[in-house]
Structure 1
Amino acid sequence: MDPQDRAQVLLCDLCQRAALQSHCELCQINLCKACVGEHLSDLSKRHNVVPYKHRTSPSNGNYPKCPNHNQKQCELYCEKCDIHVCSTCISSDKHHEHKLVEILKKPNFIKEILNNDLKELEKRILPTYEEIASNLNSQKPSFEEHYEKLTTAVTKQGEDCHREINIIVNKQKSEIDEMKTEHLATLNKQENEVKKIIYDVKQCIHDLKKLLDSNDVSLASAYKSRNAEFRRLPPTFNVSLPSFSLHQINTEQLHQMFGSLSALSITTEEHGYTRKTSKAETYPSVKPPLDEPELITTIDTGYNILYSVTCLSDEEIWTRGEDKIMMLYNLQGKQLKSIKTKSGNIPCDIAVTRSGDLVYTDPRTRTVNIVKNKQIQELIRLQGWTPYYVCSTSSGDLLVIMNSDDEKQSKVIRYSGSTEKQTIQYDSEGEPLYSCGDLKYISENRNLDICVADFEAHAIVVVNQAGKLRFRYIKKSFYLCGITTDSQSQILTADNNNNCIHILDQDGQFLRYIDNFDPCGLCVDTKDNLFVAEFNSGKVKKIKYM
């Protein structure tokens, strides 16, 4: 790929070659200097061409009538009072020191409120409650084991005592059962409360979707959000589990020396769901981007061509180049391990499992292989399909991109070990989600979306955990050679044609570029440092961008 042939980052929408300089606000199109005249020559439309940096957001200009002053239009919205207001309302001082928002800055105003609430319920509140319910349920096996250990300890101590000690043994076993019953009752109570709230949240989501599908303005205007109510999460119970203290048996002081159980302690800690309000939806603990990304270190892998990099830890990275050897480096550039593929073929992609094992795909043998203690085991063998790219998920599953032998189909398969769990291939209209090309890179986002960089389609294709299409981000100048995600659920993709990395939010909105790289593979460590595998230099660069 000749660097001289690579396009600039921001291109004219008409010619797709020259850098944009202007913007037509009425046609919503970006223009280079040469194309401005051609655009203005279309006399069938009105035009308003301004410098690109002076462009403004489009608006519909339709103001609602003021309910209190019939001759006035409401150009503002009072967030505290949750109503539209006109200039006469404002002059009455009723809204003094209230936060007022220009309606024209929020197209489809009521719809936006409904959409924002729906998005918060679906993306933040409901998953948070479901996670709490899951955590409560997951505590049961561990506390069962704990109480069983207590019972065993008490029983063993009782076997070393005389017959009269059985009274104490039975008494303390009864106390354990009571504490266990109280503990279980507490967990079940909170779990039931959370499940009830989950039901209410789902009902609100259902109602909001009906409102969004309805054109009834009166119903939409009467909508009252319950999101603030749902943000107040239930208290967390901090349980201090009882323990059993062993004492040496003394028949003279049997009751005192046998041992005692500490009391079951259950306390509550109030906390709440918080949501930062801003133009863009963000997760709690948002990390702001650096104005200028900072190069932390450069690692020379020795490869002439470097394709992939994946993090084993914050201090060690696996790399894949143009030969059959996969190499592990530390951040000081020291080679720690090298693994040769079992077949002697060049691996197509590498990933690291949650347990720290290296996984690689071998298209020639149609296998996905795992390396355990330097021993290579065949994990998956396909028939009629060829595996290409792979990633490990937060649940420990593997996502494998594969093409059919006739090169007419492409799909993503989720595996648990060697067991196929899910197939992702078509959208809701029965159309293929992915192109038939074999260059596709895959990553699971923190919100469990599955993100694929489709080289041939010049697109990022994102589906949710269930495999339903969420969005496509398409740029015809894209040559996508890698993809990863960070702790903010941002999507980072390597655009080798434009020497840059695109960063999108979880909903596909473009955020920024990171320039001046020859990027191919990407990965992010636990601290949101970005590792970039440079295609021609064979170097891995560690970048701080947040």
Structure 2
Amino acid sequence: MSKSYGGGYADVLQYMQLSNLQGVRYKFCSYLPLHGEVDEVIDTKQQELSNIIRQTNEKSERYKDILKTITRNKMQYSKSIAKTIKEIKARNKQFKIRLDKIESEYIKQLENNEKENTEAMAKLEQRLKEEMSDLNQLIHQCESKRIERNIEMVQFVTDVMQRVDKYTLPEQLDDVSPPKLITRDGYNQKLKNLFGHLDIRTKSEVNHPLQLNRNIEPAISAINAKIISSFSTINSRVEATVNDQAWLWRFGFSGISLITSDGEVIQNIHTDFHICDAAVCTSEDLLVTKWAGNIVKKITRDISIKDIYTARDNYETRGITATDTGNILGVLHNYKDSKILEITTSGQYIRTLLHNLADIIQLFEDPRFICTNINGDIIVTDKGKVVAVNKHGQRRFIYHTGWRQHKKSFIPHYLVTDKHGHIIISDFDNSVLHVLDRDGKFTQYLITPEQGCDRPIG
């Protein structure tokens, strides 16, 4: 039989005879390739083994990436715990001794939560390290078997495929969501509610970090906005901050106030200058531009006021806004031209946008106020229109339209964007709020004269 079928085939039959596998002999003989086809089978299995090595290497790299994310998450999580504790203590200063008990309670919750979640992340880290070590050993075994050309190698490939499938690779981890101190202000509420409550994640959510984003309540779209409160005030501009609070000031007048959504005044700040516009930066400090002046000022939490930027060449500071990157954009204008200025929150110059880079024309005629959108666009109220440019200064769109029934002039006084990219514009003459999509297409009027909107300014 060795002469008839070749040495390789005789070896297989001899192995089966020694094993006394008569029933299996018939099964092997029924489909086992003859002559050179055995080499083709081995070549195929070697190719499969190479694919297994490649796939396993890819899995191992994914493990490395996830472990790096866990390491970064642990560091960021501990830092965020420390930061939140500082916020709690700073918040406590407003209420003095009566809130010491709440402070102690919340810090204990944070520390317990940190311990629990850090332990959970450490366990996940350890499991991934052990599995990655097993995968690396498996890779070495596969490498040593790849040069073999025998029936044992064929069976080894089958076994390896089953072993590799047993490893369930976690998906790429998102950054862990830090705890936050959520405050609710209103002097008629109970003291504890006034102080706020902790938004912290559970142990199970830390073990499955991809679920964190799914648990976050989606942002309310401007299209679905409803009037929740109204109150009378002599002020006309508003800059929303955290905790249902906002800064309120009167365009071209001195002084600025921090209020609740019900109009209750939390804090009044006197200024010896008139204010044009204001923006809250990531540190929650307030940046303001001087009306009919060339100064950008910072008002810190301890109510210190200092100049951080002075415009030159007769430029006047106008609108100002904070960006997602933590920097500040401001509008500068003089009798010749206008430009957009980008600076840090400490006043360090970054860049200016002056012309349309495509055709070297002025981007704006008489720009006033400014905001940014989620897609990176910079949007400015101009003379009878709203102009949007991308982050490189190339014009994206121009919106200029009026109330379609009354045909009054379109005078955009202020604008903001929501977390879905909608652009909301206050139309002074027509007493409406326009809502555009992120590409500048009109969507709807948000509030109309029939709903009580009367010459909106901010």
TM-score normalised by L of structure 1:
0.43
Aligned counterpart for 1:317 among listed residues 240, 246, 260: 246
Structure 1: gaps spanning 5 or more residues: 1-133, 148-175, 187-232, 240-265, 275-283, 523-546
After TM superposition, list the pairs within 5 Å mapping 1:338-349 onto structure 2.
338-341=268-271, 344-349=272-277
Q: Name 2:263's counterpart in structure 1.
A: 333
- 1:481–1:519: 8 Å Cα contact kept in structure 2? no
1:236 CA drift (Å): 3.1
- 1:238–1:267: 8 Å Cα contact kept in structure 2? no
- 1:483–1:521: 8 Å Cα contact kept in structure 2? no
- Residues 148-204 of structure 1, C-alpha deviations (whole Å, 9 max, x = no match): xxxxxxxxxxxxxxxxxxxxxxxxxxxx9xx79976x98xxxxxxxxxxxxxxxxxx
Q: Name 1:499's counterpart in structure 2.
A: 431
What is the CA–CA distance in structure 2 between the aligned matches of 1:312 and 1:478, rounded to whole Å?
28
1:142 CA drift (Å): 5.4
What is the CA–CA distance in structure 2 between the aligned matches of 1:419 and 1:137, rounded to whole Å?
33
The verdict on how the C-alpha distance between 1:326 and 1:430 changes in structure 2, with shifts beyond 3 A counting, is: same
Kindly provide the amino acid, as one letter, of the partner of residue 503 in structure 1.
V
Aligned counterpart for 1:396 among listed residues 314, 320, 326: 326
What is the CA–CA distance in structure 2 between the aligned matches of 1:462 and 1:441, rounded to whole Å?
12
Kindly provide the amino acid, as one letter, of the partner of residue 496 in structure 1.
F
Range that drifts further, 323-332 or 411-420: 323-332
The verdict on how the C-alpha distance between 1:136 and 1:397 changes in structure 2, with shifts beyond 3 A counting, is: farther
Kindly provide the amino acid, as one letter, of the partner of residue 370 in structure 2.
I
1:138 CA drift (Å): 7.5
1:329 CA drift (Å): 1.6
What is the CA–CA distance in structure 2 between the aligned matches of 1:415 and 1:398, rounded to whole Å?
5
- 2:358–2:394: 8 Å Cα contact kept in structure 1? no
1:380 CA drift (Å): 0.8
What is the CA–CA distance in structure 1 between the aligned matches of 2:66 and 2:317, rounded to whole Å?
35
- Residues 438-466 of structure 1, C-alpha deviations (whole Å, 9 max, x = no match): x5111111222211111x1x221112233
Structure 2 residue matching 1:511: 3-state secondary structure: strand
Structure 2 residue matching 1:236: 3-state secondary structure: coil
The verdict on how the C-alpha distance between 1:135 and 1:473 changes in structure 2, with shifts beyond 3 A counting, is: farther
What is the CA–CA distance in structure 2 between the aligned matches of 1:308 and 1:443, rounded to whole Å?
14
What is the CA–CA distance in structure 2 between the aligned matches of 1:317 and 1:288, rounded to whole Å?
18
After TM superposition, list the pairs within 5 Å mapping 1:427-506 onto structure 2.
427-437=356-366, 439-454=367-382, 456=383, 458-475=384-401, 477-506=409-438
Q: Name 1:413's counterpart in structure 2.
A: 341
Q: Name 1:262's counterpart in structure 2.
A: none
Kindly provide the amino acid, as one letter, of the partner of residue 378 in structure 2.
I
1:521 CA drift (Å): 4.2
What is the CA–CA distance in structure 2 between the aligned matches of 1:452 and 1:369, rounded to whole Å?
21
Kindly provide the amino acid, as one letter, of the partner of residue 337 in structure 2.
Q
1:501 CA drift (Å): 0.9
Kindly provide the amino acid, as one letter, of the partner of residue 275 in structure 2.
P
Kindly provide the amino acid, as one letter, of the partner of residue 308 in structure 1.
R
Report the structure, 1 or 2, having the larger helix content: 2
- Residues 412-452 of structure 1, C-alpha deviations (whole Å, 9 max, x = no match): 11111311223222223344454342x51111112222111
The verdict on how the C-alpha distance between 1:401 and 1:181 changes in structure 2, with shifts beyond 3 A counting, is: farther
What is the CA–CA distance in structure 1 between the aligned matches of 2:359 and 2:307, rounded to whole Å?
33
Kindly provide the amino acid, as one letter, of the partner of residue 231 in structure 2.
I
Range that drifts further, 320-329 or 422-431: 422-431
TM-score normalised by L of structure 2:
0.50
Structure 1 residue matching 2:227: 3-state secondary structure: strand
1:479 CA drift (Å): 0.3
What is the CA–CA distance in structure 2 between the aligned matches of 1:414 and 1:345, rounded to whole Å?
23
- Residues 86-130 of structure 1, C-alpha deviations (whole Å, 9 max, x = no match): xxxxxxxxxxxxxxxxxxxxxxxxxxxxxxxxxxxxxxxxxxxxx
What is the CA–CA distance in structure 1 between the aligned matches of 2:392 and 2:70, rounded to whole Å?
26
What is the CA–CA distance in structure 2 between the aligned matches of 1:399 and 1:138, rounded to whole Å?
32
The verdict on how the C-alpha distance between 1:141 and 1:512 changes in structure 2, with shifts beyond 3 A counting, is: same
Structure with larger Rg: 2
The verdict on how the C-alpha distance between 1:511 and 1:143 changes in structure 2, with shifts beyond 3 A counting, is: same
The verdict on how the C-alpha distance between 1:420 and 1:297 changes in structure 2, with shifts beyond 3 A counting, is: same
What is the CA–CA distance in structure 1 between the aligned matches of 2:175 and 2:415, rounded to whole Å?
40
Kindly provide the amino acid, as one letter, of the partner of residue 386 in structure 2.
I
Q: Name 1:366's counterpart in structure 2.
A: 294
- 2:385–2:398: 8 Å Cα contact kept in structure 1? yes
Report the structure, 1 or 2, having the larger strand content: 1
- Residues 496-535 of structure 1, C-alpha deviations (whole Å, 9 max, x = no match): 121111100001111001211234444xxxxxxxxxxxxx
Question: Identity of counterpart residues, as a percentage?
Answer: 22
What is the CA–CA distance in structure 2 between the aligned matches of 1:422 and 1:137, rounded to whole Å?
34
Kindly provide the amino acid, as one letter, of the partner of residue 274 in structure 2.
I
What is the CA–CA distance in structure 1 between the aligned matches of 2:444 and 2:380, rounded to whole Å?
19
Q: Name 1:236's counterpart in structure 2.
A: 173
- 1:461–1:471: 8 Å Cα contact kept in structure 2? yes
The verdict on how the C-alpha distance between 1:358 and 1:521 changes in structure 2, with shifts beyond 3 A counting, is: farther
Kindly provide the amino acid, as one letter, of the partner of residue 325 in structure 2.
S
What is the CA–CA distance in structure 2 between the aligned matches of 1:430 and 1:485, rounded to whole Å?
28
- 1:370–1:378: 8 Å Cα contact kept in structure 2? yes
The verdict on how the C-alpha distance between 1:334 and 1:507 changes in structure 2, with shifts beyond 3 A counting, is: same
Aligned counterpart for 2:442 among listed residues 510, 513, 523: 510
The verdict on how the C-alpha distance between 1:512 and 1:320 changes in structure 2, with shifts beyond 3 A counting, is: same
What is the CA–CA distance in structure 1 between the aligned matches of 2:273 and 2:77, rounded to whole Å?
50
Structure 1 residue matching 2:275: 3-state secondary structure: coil
What is the CA–CA distance in structure 2 between the aligned matches of 1:399 and 1:410, rounded to whole Å?
13
- 2:411–2:428: 8 Å Cα contact kept in structure 1? yes
1:145 CA drift (Å): 8.4
1:362 CA drift (Å): 1.0
The verdict on how the C-alpha distance between 1:435 and 1:267 changes in structure 2, with shifts beyond 3 A counting, is: closer
Over the residues paired in the alignment, what is the CA RMSD in angstroms? 3.9
- Residues 35-75 of structure 1, C-alpha deviations (whole Å, 9 max, x = no match): xxxxxxxxxxxxxxxxxxxxxxxxxxxxxxxxxxxxxxxxx
After TM superposition, list the pairs within 5 Å mapping 1:518-533 onto structure 2.
518-522=454-458
- 1:398–1:415: 8 Å Cα contact kept in structure 2? yes
Q: Name 1:202's counterpart in structure 2.
A: none
Task: Say if 2:296 is the partner of 1:356.
Answer: no
